[in-house]
Structure 1
Amino acid sequence: MKNIDPKLYQHTPTVNVYDNRGLTIRNIDFHRDVAGGDTDTRITRHQYDTRGHLSQSIDPRLYDAKQTNNSTNPNFLWQYNLTGDTLRTESVDAGRTVALNDIEGRQVLIVTATGAIQTRQYEANTLPGRLLSVSEQAPGEQTPRVTEHFIWAGNTQAEKDHNLAGQYVRHYDTAGVTQLESLSLTENILSQSRQLLADGQEADWTGNDETLWQTKLNSETYTTQSTFDATGALLTQTDAKGNMQRLAYNVAGQLQGSWLTLKNQSEQVIVKSLTYSAAGQKLREEHGNGVITEYSYEPETLRLIGTTTRRQSDSKVLQDLRYEHDPVGNIISVRNDAEATRFWRNQKIVPENTYTYDSLYQLISATGREMANIGQQSNQLPSPIIPLPTDENSYTNYTRSYNYDRGGNLVQIRHSSPAAQNNYTTDITVSNRSNRAVLSSLTSDPTQVEALFDAGGHQTKLLPGQELSWNTRGELKQVTPVSRESASDREWYRYGNDGMRRLKVSEQQTGNSTQQQRVTYLPDLELRTTQNGTTTSEDLHAITVGAAGHAQVRVLHWETTPPAGINNNQLRYSYDNLIGSSQLELDNAGQIISQEEYYPFGGTALWAARNQIEASYKILRYSGKERDATGLYYYGYRYYQPWVGRWLSADPAGTIDGLNLYRMVRNNPSTLVDISGLAPTKYNIPGFDFDVEIDEQKRSKLKPTLIRIKDEFLHYGPVDKLLEEKKPGLNVPEELFDRGPSENGVSTLTFKKDLPISCISNTEYTLDILYNKHETKPFPYENEATVGADLGVIMSVEFGNKSIGNASDEDLKEEHLPLGKSTMDKTDLPDLKQGLMIAEKIKSGKGAYPFHFGAAIAVVYGEDKKVAASILTDLSEPKRDEGEYLQSTRKVSAMFITNVNEFRGHDYPKSKYSIGLVTAEKRQPVISKKRANPEEAPSSSRNKKLHVH
């Protein structure tokens, strides 16, 4: 196996240290980047308040700095209210944020680090309590502006006819207004329209006069219409310009084919056929351009090890990627066997990339090939090789090495290409007070870095002379690449209420006029126009096919005359690599349009195309993202600087990816991918070719539970229907999650129930919700012993050859210990309406029995209808006084597992703990009165003594 020396990883475990409450107070990592070399012990320290809430965390770098400078702050400080909601968050990267909730737990006030104030207004308590409006006041503004306003449907017959009763029908937001026109019975959106704010207008929906609000909007309305089958699967979608996509599925609910009908034209096939293995693994797909892609997998791990793309007409192999993984799944080499080995200046140039990691799995060295005349990487794209190269002197080898500090900041990139004399070093200056950092060309003094960021951690200068400005929500508002006393060149943006970009406008001054390029982002459609003064020189519709199999497919349709050298309605099939980067573009006949390869952390290393015009219309590049004229990649929630290997702003999801809020994909860009700019968590599910992104947190750091997944792999509906059909893909019960509108073919699901912050109580409560549907009342904030009797389920646990009934806190006392060495860990992955329990095999001392519970809140089924992966609740009860009420939360930390032992984490080793499958049955109705304290629990409560049989 290449690039792996076992000595590098010897004696480098991850160690967690716990206090007597079971809370993690130290995370210890051992860093080594040279086999056999010394290790650097890196300790991350945590502190908790008296109630067990995490109050501060500090990484090894800032801890060392604090020893010599006591003014150095921890990475994070938190304060909480009496119900456990976070009141104040103070981050050295993202600044200080204050948030207040009302008595119902709804957010009513946010004060951001930049001083912006956001308030939320709700219906009166006599009504359902729905959100009515959001107001914002920027620093320096005298009065707040209403930036969001909801108009809710009534109960008229017309509204009922479109299933709109009780739904919002118009949502005025920061980009304009969205109108909901029709819903299906399964609450899928059948028709929805969007109007954008007029240029020069700001979102301000104060008052109730909609006719006044309409004057702020552009007159054009963009409507998207969809149809669904009875299971909620998308059948057709017609975009705002009348182009229709059609999808078909096999009996297992997997994509079988897709078609596109451009407005006023005939239908054309996009995906002709797909073949899956018995386990649901994609084996072969044939596209409408006559190109076939075949997949191969490692038998032991089911990791993808090969992707071959060939033209059917002449069997020409166009791309043949071979992946090699290390034992933990890091990519150590990628070879394209469709490309020839070349020779130039006494070097052998193999079409292969190799990667080497340190003991923390950070990339420290990479090799590959680049264009011989490429020069130093910057924010500018290199010129492509035109036409596609056939000679030997186009490419050369390169080697890159990466250095990081003890806080995980990339501080140096060394590039070496001796044959082309392309050798350079990129230095990055990190603040001495935070993880904020910039290129050394902006400053080489760590004490001056903070001046290049605002209080919220947003970078204010991209390159020397290039200013950045941000809105009150921490979204990039404008980039000024060229500043002039008169009119400057600029690129500015608008975003919707969900933080996704809805408009991009680039303006350049040309003599006495202004050239403007405008992109309007709509579902599966981008409207791209170019104006010179008042004259429209280009009107382009870029249509994205949402279900295109392995490829990303776009159609370029010009309303104006297309440029010379490119056909109107050009189909562009983009074939990517394992992290989603577009490497090969083919036309509708399977002929090569362009080829591109990338450096680790992004940036183009090799780019060739058959002509310059076609090359200039490539939209998606590194990681499948759009590259703006600024050189920044737009990921959704953030912008990325590939020439620095860092995000432009702090992570809005907080500590979801650790204490460093600027680090890109844990410094492992060859293996991990970030879907939306929030987290690099990528779950390649065995037997499937899709990914699930989860805001996954440790038990001590509760954050909102969000799941993101492509629509074609999502099944959302009533839990009993999901259990009956067991369709391949991710199955999410509507009893637990709300599904937001689809964006670019990706759905976001948000947990919608209050759960008690207790491992066993949240498991009981979750199972009760799933068994009894929407009948479960909101969590009553009672003390734990009084909760179970009012729930409608009784839990049992199967530990291999032993069964425990009526499992509860009181059941797990020492008289029932130990489970014994004979207990077997032969536990299946939990299905919906099930969970897992971990319990100590042999008692280690007096007192309570150490255990942990989790309930399945979503599952992945294979084609065999068996569970291939589970998402479980992962909540632990904080320390509290006897009889003190339990707290509740919707910020449910989640754990994604593909085998039951992954539920152990670092806390429950197999040598000491058994895993059992939690099942439940409905409790028979009993008449009971509310108890004042746990000692009065009746015999029918969940505190009935456990029995083992």
Structure 2
Amino acid sequence: MTYDGYGNITRMTKPENYNHQRMFYAYTYDDRYHSLVTSVKDAYGYSSSTAYDGLWNAPSVTTDLNGQKMEYTYDAQGRQMTIRAPYEIESGQPFTIRFEYFPAERKAHTIHYSKDGNIDTYTFADSLMRAVQTKQTGVVWSGGSNQKVSIVSGRAVIDAFGRNIAAYYPMTESYGNIGTYNHATGDLQAKTEYDTHDRTTSVTLADGSVTRTAYSIGSHDGEPMLQTTVTDALGRHAESYTDAKGRNRETVQHARGEDITVKYSYDPVGQVMTVQHPNGKETKYAYDLLGRKLMVNHPDAGETDMTYDAAGNLLTKLTAELRKSISDKGYISYTYDFERLHEVLYPENLFNRVTYTYGKAGDKYNRAGRLALVEDASGGEAYYYGKQGEVTKTVRTVMASVADIRTYVYGATYDSWNRVQTMTYPDGEVVTYHYNAAGQVESLTSNKQGRQSVIVDRIGYDKEGHTVYTKLGNGTETTYTYDKQRERLQVMNLTADGQTVMENRYRYDAVDNILGITNAANPTSLTKLNRAKLGGRSSHTYEYDELNRLIHASGKAKRASYDMVMSFGRMSEPLTKVQKVDSTTTAKSYNFAYKYEDSNHPTAPTQIGHDHYTYDANGNPTLVTNDSTNTTREMYWDEDNRLMVLSDNGKTSRYTYNAAGERIMKSYGTMEGVYINGAPQGITFHETDNFTLYPASIISINKNRFTKHYFLGDKRVASRIGTGLFNNVYGRNGSYVTAGQQDYAERMNQIQKQKEAYYKQQGIAPGVPTMKGAYGDPENTKRGYNSIIDTLGNHDVPQGWIQTPRPNTTPNTNPGPPVSWNDPSNPDDPQAGYGYIPNDTTKEETFFYHSDHLGSTSYITDDKANITQYDAYLPYGELLVDEHSSSEELPYKFNGKEMDEETGLYYYGARYMNPVTSIWYGVDPLTEKYVNIGSYIYCHSSPIMLIDPTGEGDYYNKSGKLLGNDGVKNNKAYLATSVLIDKKGVVTSATDKSLLPVTNDVLNQYANTVAQESSGNKQESYALASAISNLSKYKKKSILATLKTEGIYGFRDGGYKTDYEGNAKYSMEAVINALTNGKDYSNGAIRWDGFDLAAKGFNHPKPKTAGVEISPADFMHFKAAWPAKLIKAYSAGKYTSFSSNFHSGSHPATYGSNKGYVLYSSSAAYGRTMFWKANLNATRKVAGKIETYKHTY
């Protein structure tokens, strides 16, 4: 750190990375107060700036790295009045957000600008200034139309001790009353009881279901601990044991008379060292002195080792399989530019190399500081940004082979709230999203070459935000009915032309398990819309065990029937699966016994029925042989555990993925692969006509056609078979546009040359002609290819290649061949529709999806609402009935996921699921988060209630533990009080669910920031979270705005990441405590200090300038946390004295216009942090007069 004469940090330089680069931030301050940061510059050359309101010293204009501005105004009391975002500045709108205050009425009014009509929010407070009611602009479906209303937040009843003892559901009222407090009470949601220690003892839901919690002193491995017993609404109980430091040491669930136990051990600083799973196996961890994870040894996935540089960059990752197949020199390596990931280099499949390119300072298209180009095995992707950092155009180059490189361009526009306004497809079709007065999606329309069409005609919502009505573009309508007590889906009704096609009715138990689904509708009577007589009545019943695992299912769909019985082990691994089916040609009866005989992968089945499984060291299946049919399935996985090749008796499926692990290409054929030691070498090319490309989620392409897809959020609502064709193959017919204007064939050629250089360096003979270089492969040399890989050379497309012919256009003359060319076009110019040659759009067929509660496709209808496809499923996605009248059979079936017809597997984005065996292929990437289930288990063995988790866990308990995911990608974060039992890994059966006041992304950023700021002390973490919350309220900013704009180093140093890293034990629970108005350990602090204050003592200008007051108790704690040896090491001996008068009473400011004020007093000291509370009535005497300081920060 370097400081100016006023104690301000002028430059912060971070530790040196592996490449001898040191990231730095340089700060410039105002010339008047010498305390306001006016600009920040960094090592990349980026800069941002802030201008301030002269009266309040609060930001008036901020300018980001790309020159985009945000504007702020304040009222006469210094309160935030308006915020204007870039798009409103551009359009001349007066505000993006406007605030109005009514202190006498204890209410505040917030107005969010929207071109569809402003959205109002009123907040009402009680006499203690606690928010007691919120009203917001809403639109609800009522009487067959959308009605604009005011949605009133559910009432919370608080007892004399400030505890929430009853919660009520939201209500609606006339919109004209939105500015007036509503004294009514809605329907009861839940009642909560507490003990004398303010701990929850029972939660009673509106239907009478009760979850009870009891507390006692129990024993964990002979050591007395707090035992918490939770008994759910069905009388099933589970225990957890917490030690004196608040750490979870053991959880116990019960099933089939057995205890399902998980145990945890910790090191002295609270880091998890071991997790003992219910089967007795352990996951082990090792960390360095900075708390970075060096080793994870998982029972199924084996040992993975990581190394880092001093800057905290991950340098290498060595998995169990790489160590086994190569050596400890077979790691994946990562390169950086300062702290920004530049390349990922692989030891075996070097063509999987990933290169990231970022926008430089001053770059066009708002690219400065943002990802501009990604190059990987699938090709490349270039990004163009809008004013707020949203991607407005994508140039996607897909490389099927070096001779077949195609480029597609698509784009989107957004508003200031990041809502999609339009989406333009690669063929030029423009889809427009329309929103209602509450900001919710109301309809989707399309325009292609002037032909208008409707994708979604209308959507209706209830007061809780549930979708209750949908009318699609072909006139089909679906209504959803929820029960008032538990908000569970009761009835789903699909109609076409006024006649019922499907009417699913749901039954539940007290913990929300679905007990039955009945569909009494029989659409075969619809002679006009169902000439093929598809579909029919169906019914299903389900039974569960004590852990909510599906153990019995039976049912019937049309004429087909089934019965399925399963049993499970301690890790929820299947032990048996007995399935009987009748009158179906798409599913089979079988009696499976699962064996687990591989000690290196204890929850990986080694035999299922007649199938025998072999695994690699990472836990991926590599060989399945059937001892009855003598068939084999071989699989090859890359270093990141992605399935690259699957061969069924010589019929081979090949897959290529992008840098994010998303599948971009698949192909299928009888072609022979190039194999050495059973593994295909190099890149996976798709030199066959039987292929599918996925340039984006909105389009898929095969040899003869392309299909476009339309979504509401993540739900696919329709697909359209495109007409016309693309002339976009690189090098053909003048097509030379690529992502980033890179020659991807040349890139592959350069990578191949590096492979040859590797052979040369190793001094390896070429080998036999049919297996050239085989002797030099990493499996033989024991060194990865990336051990010598260097920077790739230039592979730009030559300048001037993007040219079009200039033909003779003189009237009445022979055009003749072109004799000249137009000037080269700008490679950034191509827009969505590039390379597309249109055809008759009236021939485009559209198919609409009608799904069940899991998103599984039940019916598909065409443009005229004719039923063209009907599917019914067994519990894990096998097709019980599969009927279609159209030649177009769409592959999106169970959970709306694509079924690969060639392999029978469902593709879920990160992995593949086998519906017959009911397990994943390969170890679940989230297996560390779910300690009580096996690594291959699909949806916690509850496929009727749950869908595959997205990886964005959104349910937490008060201890900050991630409980699971509800399968809905809505970025919401929930809290549950009866959370010490996690029966499903998700909280669909949570009995005291409450929505946290931040998104899941912000929650994770908040926790990561606290982790960065904290030294690992629990009280310190809690105080930091409270101080950030206090600061946000003090500055009237959101939590995210506070993290971003208040100079919190922890946010910049890693807190900005939206995936919680868990690198500080208490940070997540501390954040949840702050967000739920728990105890304020900071005692009202809004600022804090750490190392600077300790090393510099009172002689440091910062506390002098601030005018701090430190209590003797806080000083002694703080001094003890920073021993002289550590202080000396930090400051090179320059500041080793901790002045004795450092804490002796009030020390007023000695610099600037604030001289004489005592602006802050210490409020707490924990760990290595001192917390400061603003003295709101700080005074000073000037010329005999008392002056009062008005705090602004």
TM-score by length of 1: 0.65
Q: Does 1:626 align with 2:898?
A: yes
Q: Which amino acid aligns with 2:414?
A: F
Which 5+ residue runs of structure 2 have no aligned equivalent?
A: 1-208, 212-230, 323-329, 526-535, 626-630, 673-685, 727-840, 974-994, 1032-1038, 1089-1104, 1123-1141, 1146-1159, 1166-1170, 1174-1193
| Deviation (angstroms), 1:631 | 0.6
Q: 1:435 to 1:711 in 2, by over 3 A?
A: closer
What pairs up with 1:742-891 in 2 under 5 angstroms? 754-756=1012-1014, 757=1016, 758=1018, 759-764=1021-1026, 766-767=1028-1029, 768=1031, 770=1040, 771=1042, 773-779=1044-1050, 877=1065
Contact 1:552/1:574, CA 8 A, preserved across alignment: yes
Q: 1:222 aligns with which of 382, 405, 408?
A: 408
1:137 match: 347
Query: How much does 1:245 deviate?
Result: 1.3
Structure-2 change in CA distance of 1:401 and 1:762 (3 Å): farther
| 1:574 positional shift | 0.9
Tell me, yes or no, if the aligned pair for 1:551 and 1:576 is still in contact at 8 Å.
Answer: no
Q: 1:31 aligns to what?
A: 255
Given residue 431 of structure 1, which amino acid in structure 2 is its aligned partner?
A: E
Contact 2:356 2:374 in 1 (8 A): yes
Query: Aligned AA for 1:495?
Result: Y
Shift of 1:18: 2.7
Partner of 1:743: none
Distance across 2 between alignment mates of 1:459 and 1:926:
62
SS across alignment from 2:690: strand
Structure 2 partner of 1:302: 487
Structure 1 residues 167, 217: CA separation in 2 closer, same or farther (over 3 Å shift)?
farther
3-state secondary structure, aligned to 2:947: coil
Distance apart, 1:192 and its partner CA: 1.5
Tell me the equivalent position of 1:822: none
Please say if 1:941 is aligned against 2:1141.
no
Task: Specify which of 435, 451, 457 is matched with residue 603 of structure 2.
Answer: 435
Amino acid at match of 2:573: N
Is the CA contact (8 Å cut-off) linking 1:108 and 1:121 kept in structure 2? yes
- The residue that corresponds to 2:506 in the other structure is 323
Instruction: Give me the whole-angstrom Cα distance separating, in 2, the residues matched to 1:454 and 1:644.
Output: 19
1:820 counterpart residue number: none
The offset of 1:595, in angstroms, is 1.1
What is the distance in 1 between the residues matched to 2:416 and 2:548? Answer: 45
Q: Structure 1 residues 189 and 353, CA, compared in 2 at 3 Å: closer, same or farther?
A: same
Superposed CA deviations along residues 65-108 of structure 1, whole A, max 9, x for unmatched, are: xxxxxxxxx24111111122211001121111011232332222
Q: Which has the larger radius of gyration?
A: 2
Q: How far does residue 294 in structure 1 lie from its aligned partner after superposition?
A: 1.0
Change (3 A) 1:921 1:280: farther
Task: Tell me the SS of whatever aligns to 1:516.
Answer: coil
| Residue of structure 2 in register with 1:103 after alignment | 310
- For residues 21-43 of structure 1, the C-alpha deviation after alignment (integer angstroms, 9 at most, x for no partner) is 332222211113xxxxxx22222
Counterpart in the other structure of 1:19: 243
Cα distance change on mapping 1:514 and 1:494 into 2, 3 Å: closer
Instruction: Determine which of 847, 850, 856 is the counterpart of 1:581.
Output: 856
Map of 1:906-921 to 2, 5 A cutoff? none
Question: Which amino acid in 2 is paired with 1:242?
Answer: G
Query: Residues of 2 paired with 1:738 and 1:915: CA distance?
Result: 21
Match of 2:719 in 1: 554
Q: Distance in 1 between matches of 2:249 and 2:878?
A: 39
CA RMSD of aligned residues (A): 4.5
Please say if 1:501 is aligned against 2:667.
no
Tell me the alpha carbon deviations over residues 700-727 of structure 1, each in whole angstroms, 9 at most, x when there is no partner.
9899x9999658999xxxxxxxxxxxxx
- The answer to whether the 8 Å contact 1:699/1:875 transfers is no
| Cα-to-partner distance string for 1:491-542 (whole Å, 9 max, x where unaligned) | 11111111111111112369xx996321111234333324xxxxxxxx2211
Are 1:586 and 1:592, in contact at CA under 8 Å, matched by a contact in 2? yes
CA contact (8 A) 1:640 1:647 kept: yes
2:883 equivalent among 602, 608, 612: 608
Secondary structure, aligned partner of 1:256: strand
Taking the aligned partners of 2:507 and 2:1051, their CA distance within structure 1 comes to 52
Code of the residue aligned with 2:893 in structure 1: it is: R
Contact 1:733-1:857 at 8 Å conserved across structures: no
* Alignment-mate amino acid for residue 356 of structure 2: F
Distance 1:667 1:894 in 2: 32
Corresponding position: 1:152 with 2:358: yes
Does structure 2 conserve the Cα–Cα contact (< 8 Å) formed by 1:23 and 1:700? no
Aligned to 1:416: 580
Asked if structure 1 preserves the Cα contact closer than 8 Å seen for 2:360 and 2:368, the reply is yes
Q: Which one of 535, 539, 542 corresponds to residue 355 of structure 1?
A: 542
In the alignment, structure 1 residue 540 sits paired with structure 2 residue 705 = yes
Structure 1 residues 916 and 192, CA gap change in structure 2 (3 angstroms): same
Offset, 1:583: 0.8
- Counting helix residues as a fraction of each chain, which structure ranks higher? 2
Specify the code of the residue in structure 1 equivalent to 2:867: I
Q: What does 1:86-125 align with in structure 2 at a 5 Å threshold? A: 86-115=293-322, 116-124=330-338
Deviates further, 19-28 or 621-630: 19-28
Contact kept, 8 Å, 1:856 with 1:873, in 2: the verdict is no
Corresponding residue for 2:622? 460
Distance 2:1057 2:966 in 1: 11
Q: Is the 8 A contact 2:1024 2:1082 kept in 1?
A: no
Secondary structure at the counterpart of residue 689 of structure 2: strand
How far does the alpha carbon of each residue in 1:847-888 deviate from its partner, in whole angstroms, 9 at most, with x for none? xxxxxxxx9999xxxxxxxxxxxx99999757xxxxxxxxxx
C-alpha distance in 1 between matches for 2:875 and 2:1082: 44
CA distance in 2, matches of 1:358, 1:397: 23
Distance in structure 2 (CA, Å) of the matches to 1:410 and 1:478:
27
Whole-Å Cα distance in 2 between the matches of residues 337 and 469 of structure 1? 46
Cα distance 1:514–1:223, how it changes in 2: closer, same or farther (>3 A)? closer
Q: Distance in 1 between matches of 2:593 and 2:276?
A: 25
Taking a change above 3 Å as real, the CA distance of residues 580 and 332 of structure 1, as seen in their structure-2 partners, is: same
SS at 1:474's partner residue? Answer: coil
Shift of residue 582 of structure 1?
0.7
Alignment of structure 1 residues 503-522 onto 2, 5 Å: 503-508=665-670, 516-522=689-695
Q: Which residue of 2 aligns with 1:666?
A: 940
Provide the TM-score with structure 2 as the length reference: 0.52
Q: Is 633-642 or 656-665 further displaced after alignment?
A: 656-665
Aligned partners of 2:352, 2:944: CA distance in 1, in Å?
Answer: 44
Q: 1:22 to 1:498 in 2, by over 3 A?
A: same
For residues 407 and 894 of structure 1, do their structure 2 counterparts lie closer, same or farther at Cα, with a shift above 3 Å needed? farther
Long gaps (5+) in structure 1 = 33-38, 64-73, 200-215, 343-348, 371-393, 484-488, 531-538, 679-691, 715-727, 740-748, 783-854, 859-870, 879-888, 904-913
- Residue 136 of structure 1 deviates from its aligned partner by 1.9
Q: Please tell me whether residue 395 in structure 1 is matched to residue 559 in structure 2.
A: yes
- State the Cα distance separating 1:330 from its structure 2 match: 1.2
CA shift in 2, pair 1:781/1:309, >3 Å: closer
Corresponding position of 1:926: 1106
How far residue 236 of structure 1 moved from its aligned partner, in angstroms, is 0.8
> Match for 2:567: what amino acid?
N
> C-alpha offsets along residues 708-763 of structure 1, whole Å, 9 cap, x if unaligned?
9658999xxxxxxxxxxxxx999649877789xxxxxxxxx998983534440451
Aligned length: 692
Distance 1:730 1:610, change over 3 A: farther
Closer, same or farther: CA 281–110 of 1 in aligned 2, 3 Å = same
Distance 2:1121 2:482 in 1: 55
Task: Give the conservation status (yes or no) of the 8 Å contact 1:99–1:111.
Answer: yes
661-670 vs 771-780, which moves further: 771-780
CA contact (8 A) 1:621 1:627 kept: yes
Percent of paired sites with the same residue: 19
Q: For the residues of structure 2 that align with 1:137 and 1:857, how far apart are their CA atoms?
A: 28
Q: Deviations over 1:369-389 (max 9, x none)?
A: 15xxxxxxxxxxxxxxxxxxx
Question: 2 CA distance for matches of 1:916 and 1:337?
Answer: 56
